[in-house]
Amino acid sequence: MCVSAVLIKSNIEMVTGMVNKRIRNKSELLKAIAHPVRLCIIRRLIEKPRNVSEMHSCLKKPQSTISQHLGKLREARIIEGKRNGTHVCYKVINEEVKKIVAILFS
């Protein structure tokens, strides 16, 4: 195999790897928002930042359940929390997720 063929093969493998990584990242993002409770949390947080007790009153789920889902959303870098006294106020920071949710509920 000539040098140029090796370089072309190497470039193709590199591009394919980058595409596969991007697809895996998008798949992980969709998995993170696919749960009904997480989707509802995201939708509420897009309306306005909220703390767990505010979400508890509108979701009618135990605070521990909400906290677990918030943890998964934080891990996926979809939301972030900011301490405000004794409460943590959460907001959506991922613009791509905001667009996806807007499309889903339009």
Enter the pTM of the model: 0.79
Q: Could you report the per-residue pLDDT of 47-84, keeping only the tens digit for each?
A: 999 999 888 877 888 989 999 999 999 999 999 999 98
**Domain tally for the chain?**
1
The dihedrals phi and psi of 84, each to the nearest 5 degrees, come to: -135, 90
CATH assignment at residue 64: 1.10.10.10
Range of the domain at 12: 3-104
Task: Output the CA torsion sign for 100, 44, 68, 37.
Answer: negative
- Widest CA span of the chain, in angstroms? 67
CA distance readout (Å), 105 to 12, 39, 40, 71 = 39, 11, 11, 24
Query: What is the 8-class DSSP label of residue 105?
Result: T
Using one digit for the tens of pLDDT, what is the confidence trace for 37-51? 999 999 999 999 999
